[in-house]
Amino acid sequence: MSAGRIIVIPRIYHDGAAAIGTPACTVPPAASCSLRGIAGERFAVRNSGALAVVEGTGDHACEYMTGGTV
């Protein structure tokens, strides 16, 4: 994804269950990602310039970030 926008709003919200998988928001330059809920274990890994808003993530989120904001 490059310069795009992802918005995830699950229809049913389960506390503790991931609403979006691990590879979401991986290497998206100039993109944005908004998520209602919890993201996977490696959310926003290698983020190089994206803006991401999320309620919670796994243990290894934002690994190897070289830019961007989560």
How many separate helices (H) and strands (E) can be counted in the chain? 0, 6
Q: Which residue has the tokens 């070289």?
A: 66
* Domain boundaries along the sequence of the chain: 1-6+34-70
Q: Which residue has the tokens 């809920």?
A: 37
Distances (CA, A) of 35 to 27, 65: 17, 19
pLDDT per residue as tens digits for the range 7-61: 777 766 666 666 777 666 665 667 788 888 888 888 888 777 888 888 888 888 8
The model's pTM is 0.69
Give the C-alpha separation, 46 to 34, whole Å: 17
| Structure confidence at residue 65 (pLDDT) | 81
